[in-house]
């Protein structure tokens, strides 16, 4: 079996699957159950200063799509509402009992030096492996000058990261907000501040649904609602892009990344690791299906690695980064055409409808009075839409038909900048 053990900025764990800072890591009871189930580590739910915050009821809203529950989850829960000392005592005991598991503590305190200087020694005293600075929470705490209110200002990120490195010997992970135009700038600031790693993405600012009877956003609190943090499978493509942007940025290239965002299967994890992530953090999937899902993640990743000949995580970590590029460098001469396997085709016509109404009218609908769908190569631009709408796996495939020549936009005659060059 493949070796899934990880050493992330000096924090060791038996596998790369960590639980993210969230309700599943709110107390010792949950974390112990998670470790018993096989999770490699946890990021303890975000701690703040006493007196604890006050949370509301209810706290979650969800997007149901195409019969799937919780395709996206919205939460308006704040950081831990338990006393700081209680959390610290439990962290100390759990780490003592489970020394081989990663124990990272998420922190969010006011953006002043004394607050960070005060809390860091107490966390370090627990024996925790590292701290994660929560600069991502987009609701509640951000209105108090914390969370994403810090994460949206690169200068603040750099300043706080520098304080943390000054007042603590623990490895530091800066958790980035996706609620920003270009994630590279906060990542660069975190690196400039001396952080050991970044984690991303935190939740996306959102209103998931409107209750049309109450005429209020969900979750609804006594007839009112507010924006919250969006997570779950629906955000994974956004997270993949942001991880890739940091991984391939010349300034932050090589900065260790703990990936977060819609991870629920071994394949999700493998995709983030291929983009350079050293660990992956899971939340919504665990809340949906329970802690035992880590069994499938571990076995699935192990079997896939065995099939590919990868002995360790490092054997494939970052292998996809070099193939992520800007549009202008894509090969304009590359040409593919759709091919329909008539033996697999169930004659539903979805490919024809999609192409006829919204694409390039490249799929004919009938021949000799029989229901038959065929591709017109002269009209097909290889957009892949028909393949994506087809309900039968491998019925529609794409075939390369060009002569393997190459030209991108930087040298194309239609590009006025290439003419100047």
Is 235 found in the same domain as 182? yes
Last residue within a domain, chosen from 290, 323, 356: 323
Is 154 found in the same domain as 126? yes
Is 369 found in the same domain as 264? no
Instruction: Share the mean pLDDT of the chain.
Output: 96
Residue 12, domain member (yes or no): yes
Is 82 found in the same domain as 27? yes
Is 215 found in the same domain as 341? no
Q: Which CATH number does the domain housing residue 377 bear? A: 3.30.70.20
pLDDT of res. 293? 98
- The catalytic site residues sit at 137
Last residue within a domain, chosen from 295, 323, 351: 323
Is 314 found in the same domain as 206? yes
CA dist., res. 137 & res. 165, Å (int):
22
Residue 282, domain member (yes or no): yes
Residue 50, domain member (yes or no): yes
Q: Looking at the 3D structure of the chain, how many domains does it have?
A: 2
Residue 216, domain member (yes or no): yes
pLDDT of res. 420? 61
Q: Which CATH number does the domain housing residue 295 bear? A: 3.20.20.70
Is 198 found in the same domain as 259? yes
User: Quick one: average pLDDT of 351-359?
Assistant: 97
User: Quick one: average pLDDT of 204-227?
Assistant: 94
Residue-wise pLDDT for 281-314, tens only, equals 999 999 999 999 999 999 999 999 999 999 999 9
Residue 226, domain member (yes or no): yes
Backbone conformation region of residue 66, classed left if phi is above 0, alpha if psi is from -120 to 50, else beta: left
Residue-wise pLDDT for 171-199, tens only, equals 999 999 999 999 999 999 999 999 999 99
Is 76 found in the same domain as 10? yes
Write out the residue range of the structural domain in which residue 239 sits: 6-323
Is 378 found in the same domain as 302? no
Last residue within a domain, chosen from 323, 357, 372: 323
Is 343 found in the same domain as 299? no
Is 244 found in the same domain as 117? yes
Residue 1, domain member (yes or no): no
Is 292 found in the same domain as 148? yes
Residue-wise pLDDT for 369-395, tens only, equals 889 999 999 999 999 999 999 999 999
């Amino acid at each position: 079996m493949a070796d899934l053990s990880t050493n992330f900025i000096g924090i060791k764990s038996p596998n790369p699957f960590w639980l993210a800072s969230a309700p599943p890591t709110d107390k010792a009871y949950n974390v112990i159950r998670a470790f018993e189930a096989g999770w490699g580590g946890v990021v303890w739910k975000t701690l703040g200063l006493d007196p604890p915050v006050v949370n509301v009821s209810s706290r979650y809203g969800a997007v149901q799509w195409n019969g799937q529950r919780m395709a996206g989850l919205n939460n308006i829960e704040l950081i831990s509402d338990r006393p700081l000392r209680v959390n610290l005592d439990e962290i100390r005991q759990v780490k003592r009992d489970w020394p081989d598991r990663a124990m990272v503590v998420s922190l969010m305190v006011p953006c002043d030096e004394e607050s960070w200087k005060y809390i860091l020694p107490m966390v370090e005293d627990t024996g925790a492996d590292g701290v994660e600075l929560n600069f991502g929470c987009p609701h509640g705490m951000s209105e108090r000058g914390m969370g994403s209110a810090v994460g949206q200002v690169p200068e603040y990120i750099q300043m706080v990261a520098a304080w943390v490195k000054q007042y603590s010997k623990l490895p530091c992970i800066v958790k980035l907000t996706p609620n920003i135009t270009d994630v590279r700038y906060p990542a660069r600031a975190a690196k400039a501040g001396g952080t050991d790693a970044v984690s991303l993405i935190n939740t996306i600012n959102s209103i998931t649904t409107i209750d049309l009877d109450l005429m209020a956003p969900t979750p609804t609190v006594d007839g009112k609602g507010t924006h919250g943090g969006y997570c779950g499978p629906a955000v994974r493509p956004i997270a993949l892009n942001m991880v890739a942007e940091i991984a391939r940025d010349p300034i932050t290239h090589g900065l260790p990344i703990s990936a977060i965002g819609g991870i629920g299967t071994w394949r999700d994890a493998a995709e983030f690791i291929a983009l350079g992530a050293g660990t992956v953090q899971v939340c919504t999937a665990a809340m949906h299906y329970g802690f035992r899902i880590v069994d499938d993640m571990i076995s699935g990743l192990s079997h896939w690695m065995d099939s590919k000949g990868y002995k360790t995580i490092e054997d494939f970590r970052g292998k996809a980064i070099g193939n992520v590029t800007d549009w202008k460098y894509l090969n304009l001469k590359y040409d593919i055409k759709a091919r329909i396997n008539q033996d697999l085709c169930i004659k539903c016509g979805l490919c024809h409808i999609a192409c006829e109404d919204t694409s390039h009218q490249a799929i004919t609908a009938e021949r000799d009075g029989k229901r038959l769908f065929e591709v017109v190569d002269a009209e097909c631009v290889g957009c892949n839409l028909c393949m994506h709408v087809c309900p039968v796996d491998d019925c529609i495939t794409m075939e390369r038909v060009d002569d393997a020549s190459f030209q991108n936009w930087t040298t194309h005659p239609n590009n006025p900048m290439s003419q100047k060059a």
